[in-house]
Amino acid sequence: MAGASRYTANPVMRYDDWWKSASWLFGRTTGGAMNAYLSCEGFGDKAFGQQMLVSNELDGFWPFTPIGVVSNSAGSRGRLGTAYDLWYGSTAIGDGDTYPADTSRQFAQFGHFIFPWDGSAPQTA
């Protein structure tokens, strides 16, 4: 929708909104106010999950890519840490799909993010 705010009731959960843009993450360090990015493994010009559109052909599992927090703001440049209990997943996985693909539902994916899950069936509508 043209002119729609990025800050809506339906938050964006895509690589391009977190990996390529620092506009969503703000913070303060001893170096002052800063913007940050969520980083991850990648190759070519895309994040790993954007390139991996099939499960791993060696073990059959879908990727869980660790998420780093980095900044390039003056006074706060560098790797700031790693997100805990949050991973990037493949863009080929749909909202509400769970891992493993059984009734244990230990993890659920929404957008491009994978979260720990309580075993309940995710509601996406």
pTM, rounded to two decimals: 0.79
What does DSSP say about strands 97-99 and 65-71: parallel, antiparallel, or unpaired?
Answer: unpaired
Tens digits of per-residue pLDDT, 40-61? 888 888 888 888 999 999 999 9
Report how far apart, in Å, the C-alpha atoms of 15 and of each of 11, 23, 96, 111 are: 13, 13, 17, 9
Q: What is the pLDDT of residue 28?
A: 82
